Structures are given as structure tokens and as C-alpha cells.
Structure 1
């Protein structure tokens, strides 16, 4: 195995470079590894959304296969291995739906995942054809409307910036952060827990195993799209019902997703022993980045997933890719075991059914039926392509001005260094790995992946 150096700049993606040297240690390094390793990496991925599949469906078979191969196939591109999906509609669905919209159907006699057969199921199957070991977890954006106090999928009315968006919500139906929009009587809680079980069972029958669920996406946020607020006390009550349903199926429960910078919102749930007994991990996104370090320290037995990278503005530009790197670096330095991007594919412009324009890994042109991989994809690939499941994050010490990297120890003994040079000029850097010095000159305004095999110096 030879040392590898890959460079991406704004003008050229994923270029192999020469000039990486591995020598004995001489002098003071710019970056060195501290003793001991940090958390174990479980994988990198994104979310299967309906609009991801409808955009890819515009490509011919060869183009779509090429995209999925680049995204998922081991050893080809990013090799994404751990992904998310919605339970029912989310903000990048074609429109609102749930798996049972029959009011009062506590026995779920009308439960049906048929909507997904046109979009999510073929999307996931196509990805699994490229990555047979793909792991999958799921969360809802909204329960069925009849299980909610406002009888509606949304929690907020469209604002001035979204005049052309209609969700039919009346002012008196709007939700409020910190309250429970779910009906917290035992009949509704039992039925909703069974709803999760039916979802897991239905997907298993389709040949798609769900390994883990989270009870609610962004449980503090009433939105114009599918959403549902919960209080920590309400979530704890639900987990007491959800836990046995998932345990009977061997499915894990993570508590999330947390989109606020307050670790107490999860801590108050975990303070309930009946709820905490079923929780094996935590999910954080968006402003949850301000709480992730505290959560890692307070609950070291629980794994942490970064569940949704902040979604951008649909421009898919180099500016945002640089910001995306800061997010990835922050989460992985603060104890997260997995990092997930959001939209896999969208049409050019990235507009959702509810008027939000967002970034994606792939952009499809609806006129030419062509596609391109975005800068965000290249940044994700710089980490995901070479950091294997089971890798350990390495803690580093750096001289001033050399702290812009992540380092990982792979199970095979190789070391992966992912570094950004955000300067307008080239940056020589020396990394010390044990008794070896790794030296490279990072190009101006670039992302770099250095893969160093195990072994002695040359």
C-alpha cells in the first residue's frame, strides 16, 4: 500500500498529487498525534428523500447507475454506508402523506406504505445494489394528522418569504416550541408505537432492514412542512411505549433529533429511567452542534450521530462547501460517531414542495437531463472515501495556524489525514505519526486527503 494524496480546489476536484514524503522524524512537527484514540466511526451517509429519487429518475439508466455507483459503491467514490430515511413525509417529499390517515384507526387496519413503492423503496434498493452492507435508520417528521392535537401535518403557517407556499394551516392550529402537539393519552401513544413497528415490519418484508429509529425530527420546531413539537416529558412518555415495540424487533432507539444548543432537552428525557432504558444513542443537527460536546461528556456510554448537515441555500457553491467542512470538523472533534449529509440529489435550484431551496450532493438539470456532483459532495468524499467504519478519531496537537485537519486511524492500520488549507497561498505542513514525519505542501484554498499506510519510514 502506497501513501496517497488527493487534492480538491474550486477549479479541479479529486486530483492525485505527487510530493508526499514519509521520513524519519526530524525537527518539530506542525501537527502531531496525542496519545490514545477517540470515538469509533460508524459511517458516513445522507438521507433518502422522495425528491432525491424523482430528480434521479430524470436520468437515463446509465447516468443514474453512474451516480449511485459513485456515491455508494465501496472503493469507487464516497462509499456511503450509513443513511437515513423518513417515516412518512418530510420536507423533501412530493407532498404530505402518512402511512395511516384514517381517523381513529388505533388498530392500524389501514396502515399502508404503498406511497413509498414509487420513490423511497426503489431509491434505497438502487443504493443497496451498489453498497450491499448499507445500514439504514429512520425518523418521522410528523405523526398521522389524527394523532396530533391540531389535526394537521404542519406546525407553522407560511411566512412573508414563502407567499407561493400553501399548507392549509389555520392560525389557531399553529404549534409552539416546548409543547406537545401529539395527543399524550395511552391509546394514541400505544398506537403510534405500533405504527413504528408496522413501518419496520413492512420494510423488512420489502427486503430493507431498519436498524434504528429516532422518535421525532427536530422536536422543538413547528414548521410549515411536516413537523411535530414534543416536550421532554412527552418524549419520555412515548419512549416507554416505543421501547418494547422496537426491542421486540431488535431495533435500536436513539434520542433525537436535537436541533437546539441545549443538552438539557435530551438530559430531561434521559432522567426518566423508563425512557432511558431503551436509548442507545443520541442524534443532533443544526444548532445541536452547540450541545454535542456536552452530550459526549455527560453521556459517554451513548453513541452520537450528526443526523443532518445544515442544508445550504441551493447555490451549491464553494463558499458553502468551505462552511460544510467546519461543521464536519466540529462534530467529529466533539464525539460524534457518524456524520450524515442531507439531500442526496435535487433538481437545479433545490426547491422543496414547501418553498425551501437547499444544497445536495448531486444536481440534476431537468432540461438537459444531465447531472453534476457538487462541491459539498467533494468535501464529504474527502473524508468518507478513505475513513472506514471502525476507524478511530485521533486527537492532535498543532502549532498556531496548523489546526485545520481531522485525523483517523483505520482498522487496517492506515492513517487518514483530511486537511483544508484556507489560505490564499500554498502551505507546507509536517505531520508526525509515531516515528514518521509526513510532509506535504497543501495548495492554496484546497481540501486534501492523505492516506498513510502502516509501516516503517523510508
Structure 2
């Protein structure tokens, strides 16, 4: 009897030890299938898969990280660089002396909805989620876009000064959403990050009393003209926002001239917007926002124009940047990804870069599930992960220096969203079960954000023949090379990489996969 009892105790101890090991040692994806073309990885307060902090292999070896429709999620491996060609049909040659733009960073948006969803989890699960994005063990997000007051991904309509006629902004005050949700989460994210986060502010609408339509939503612009009291007050509103956040040790790398100014010129537009023509934006920056920022305690905060779909380029940039008075205050052009298919990147991004190389291009918003024909959350959609990777590669290959996803986290319906404009997100929260799901698009972002550090420089890469592979190559500040390859075809593709500095790297891109290769050159 005693022997049986001892055996039972030992079995229980072994079982408990195995459970603990699973929670702390294993980093494998806990896959769940919701009936789409791939899986999500489920995380809770005690466990979440992670590739961990990545260190480069010694000279003569290379690392590969694979995610695929078949279920791989940042699956890592190391192998030897070879002296001789493998004879693979396709060769990608790194051309290090062809140098292009330097990377600023990758990230997502801390909307009211994202904050609500993160805070709906237990403290342990919240920490897991933030670590996944911002810690060295996570995917290395360095950019966070912060809406100034409410947007569609809020639960109510508000601005920071809804007192009519308050041109001195005496009643300007941050909202409970800022104080109780976004600011504490941003501080926690910053504490996890190994480097200062690049915060990016965007306003959706001015207070209704400043606007021609007297409302936060729909078609409307600022009353009066640039240089007038509404335009001056709207510029000071930006300064006050920066000052209030600075009290919480949160300083902004950049601000945009306003989210999607074209939306505020559309009749019956359904949510918050503030219309600007490129001419109005040019004059507002030259006469009001630029001088106000320059004279403030935040003169080094960058101004990014447009913050709208890239199909408005290069026309918008020509109108604003050709003006010397506006141009001297501006650092870059912010683009959204919606309807990218209408205008080739070479026309919108390429031409803009070549006309104005001193201004950088930066992606400030993208999400899947925005299209009415394919709306909302799709748990496990690999197709959407491919859409992300394709767009990022195209953008990077056309001089964009960073790419910002939309909501950091949404619920299973794709909200909350007061106008019911539901979309998808790389992280979906199930508060009832105290879990969150990392979508394939989370790993799509990771293949870029985890490996392309700030200061990484795009370099040339050429293919020996026409191929279905999409790719972009970079040399990081530490001298290592990172090559990202997307295979959207239904066939496996064998290829080799030739880097004159090290040799030949044999590789395979499985059907519907995303691959990051990294190696040292010294």
C-alpha cells in the first residue's frame, strides 16, 4: 500500500513538473483552428509562445525564421553558409553598395479600443500581451500611434475641449481614456522596451465649435482661413496635447497634420473627420502649426503631412512641399494602405521620393477586414498575413522607412467601435476566457519588426530570373544582413542567396510562407 501511495505521489510530482515546464520552458505556439486557412496561437496569463531574444550565429552560419500557412510560426533554424553554389534555379544576389533608405521602426496604434481590450484581461495576461509586442523577447515594436481624443475605435465622441468659444483652450483637459487607459499602458510598454518608443500623435477631428459643420463627424473643416483664430487655436491644441502627455514622461517623436483629411471632404462621412485640401494643409503648417511647434517646448517633434491613402501622392506632396514656408517645418509624408491597388507604388511612393528625397515616407495605418466585402475578424487567416507582408515589402522597396499597424488589440467582433466600423487586428482578445489570440498577421509583422532595427539600411538585391518570390534586403547597424522573402504561391520554391561577403546560402520557401534570413558578414 505504501509503495502504491509513493508511486502515486511521484506520478503527481512528475505531472506537476511537466505542467510547470510547459508553462515556463516551452515556446511553441498553442495552435487553435477557427476554420480559416491557418491557425492562431493562444496565449494566457502564464503561457505564450515566443521566439525569444534573437542572437546572430557566428560568421559562416546563417539563421532562418519561417512562418507559413501550414502552421509554422517564426520557426528558427541555423545552418552553414556554403562555399560553392547549390545550383538552385533562382539566385538572389545581395548588392551591398546599392544603398537606400534607413528604417525608423514598426508598430501599432494605442486606440481607446486597443486599451479597453488589453485592460479587459487579467494583470498576468495584460503583461503577456504587452511583452509580446514590446519586450526583447517579443517582436520589437518601437512605434506607437496615439489618437488625439476620440476616433471610430472609441466608445463615445469627445475632444479635449468641448467648451464652445474657448479659443484660449482654458478648458483643455485629457480624457479619462487617456489618464486611466492609454497613458498607463504606454508607460508599461515603454518600461518593457529596450529603447525609447517612437510615439506618433494623430487627431481625427477638431472640437465641433471650431468647425464649419458644427459636428465631430461628417463633412466639415475648420472655420475661417489658415492664419485665422480657428487655425491658430487648432495648432495650440496640438501643443497642449504634447505638454499634457509630457507630464507623464511620454514625449512624441512625431505628429501628423490630421488623420485622413480627404474623409472630412466627403458628404455623409460616418465618423470623426476634419477636412483639409492640400493647399489648406500647406498654409496651416506654414502659418500656424509649424511656428507654434517651433516656439513650443517640443520643437524637435517631427511634422508628417498627409496621413491618408497613398493614391493622393504625388499631387499632395507637390502642393505642400513645393512651398518653402511649409516645407521647412516638415519632416515626412505619412501614408495609409487602403486602396493601394488603385495606384502603383512606383507612381505614388517612388515618384514622391525622387521629387523630395529629403522628406521620408512613413506608413501610419493599415488593417485587414476594413473592406465591406471582407469585413471584420477572421481568426487564423493566412491570406491576411500575406496581404500585410506583401504591402510592407512593396512599401520598403519604394523608400518607406516604417510601417504602423492599426489597433494593437481588438475583441472577437473587431471592436469596440461606436460606429460599428469593425476590422481585424494581429491580436484578438477573448476576455471571457482571459486569453488572447496571435493572428498570422502578428507573425507577418514580426518578420520585419523583430529583425529590422532602427538604422537598418535597405540595400540592393537582384534575382537571376523571374520568380514568384517577393523580397527585400537590409544591412543592420551591427553589419549583419537581413533578407525577408514572401512566397504567396501554392508551390515550394528552392533558391539560393549569394552574398559576396560570405558565400552561398541554400534555402527553401514553402508554399504560402514568409521567411527571414539573417547572417553576419564579419
For the criterion TM > 0.5, the same-fold answer is: yes
**Cα distance in 2, alignment partners of residues 305 and 15 from structure 1:** 26
CA deviations over 1:419-448 (Å, ceiling 9, x no partner):
122232322110111241111122222111
Counterpart in the other structure of 1:68 = 130
8 Å contact 1:348–1:363 — kept in the other structure? yes
* Aligned-pair CA distance for 1:25: 4.8
Match for 1:146 among 176, 200, 209? Answer: 209
Counterpart in the other structure of 1:334 = 398
**Cα distance in 2, alignment partners of residues 183 and 50 from structure 1:** 31
Counterpart in the other structure of 1:192 = 234
**Cα distance in 2, alignment partners of residues 388 and 107 from structure 1:** 42
**Cα distance in 2, alignment partners of residues 310 and 258 from structure 1:** 14
Establish whether residue 38 from structure 1 lines up as the match of residue 103 from structure 2.
no
* Aligned-pair CA distance for 1:363: 0.4
Match for 1:109 among 160, 163, 170? Answer: 170
**Cα distance in 2, alignment partners of residues 439 and 120 from structure 1:** 46
**Cα distance in 2, alignment partners of residues 278 and 15 from structure 1:** 41
Match for 1:235 among 264, 269, 281? Answer: 281
Q: 1:15 to 1:46 in 2, by over 3 A?
A: closer
**Cα distance in 1, alignment partners of residues 364 and 442 from structure 2:** 16
Match for 1:437 among 501, 504, 508? Answer: 504
Match for 1:54 among 97, 116, 123? Answer: 116
8 Å contact 1:216–1:257 — kept in the other structure? yes
Q: Map residues 127-138 of structure 1 onto 2, 5 A cutoff.
A: 127-131=189-193, 132-138=195-201
Q: 1:237 to 1:197 in 2, by over 3 A?
A: same
CA deviations over 1:372-412 (Å, ceiling 9, x no partner):
11111110001111111100112221121154112111111
**Cα distance in 2, alignment partners of residues 252 and 140 from structure 1:** 15
* Aligned-pair CA distance for 1:322: 1.1
**Cα distance in 2, alignment partners of residues 357 and 20 from structure 1:** 43
Match for 1:300 among 343, 351, 357? Answer: 357
Counterpart in the other structure of 1:261 = 311
Q: Map residues 391-402 of structure 1 onto 2, 5 A cutoff.
A: 391-398=456-463, 399-401=465-467
Q: Map residues 59-458 of structure 1 onto 2, 5 A cutoff.
A: 59-74=121-136, 76-115=137-176, 116-131=178-193, 132-155=195-218, 174-175=219-220, 180-184=221-225, 186-222=228-264, 223-239=269-285, 240-248=287-295, 249-250=298-299, 251-262=301-312, 263-287=314-338, 289=340, 290=343, 291-312=348-369, 313-316=375-378, 317-351=381-415, 352-398=417-463, 399-401=465-467, 403-435=469-501, 436-455=503-522
Larger Rg over CA atoms? 2
Point out where structure 2 has 5 or more consecutive residues left out of the alignment: 1-55, 370-374
Q: 1:288 to 1:297 in 2, by over 3 A?
A: farther
**Cα distance in 1, alignment partners of residues 235 and 489 from structure 2:** 51
Point out where structure 1 has 5 or more consecutive residues left out of the alignment: 156-173
Q: 1:80 to 1:182 in 2, by over 3 A?
A: farther
Superposed CA RMSD in Å reads 1.8
The number of aligned residues is: 432
SS of the counterpart of 1:7?
strand
Moved more, 281-290 or 350-359: 281-290
8 Å contact 2:222–2:230 — kept in the other structure? no
Moved more, 329-338 or 286-295: 286-295
* Aligned-pair CA distance for 1:184: 2.4
* Aligned-pair CA distance for 1:299: 0.6
**Cα distance in 1, alignment partners of residues 484 and 65 from structure 2:** 9
Counterpart in the other structure of 1:161 = none
**Cα distance in 1, alignment partners of residues 92 and 223 from structure 2:** 50
* Aligned-pair CA distance for 1:181: 4.8
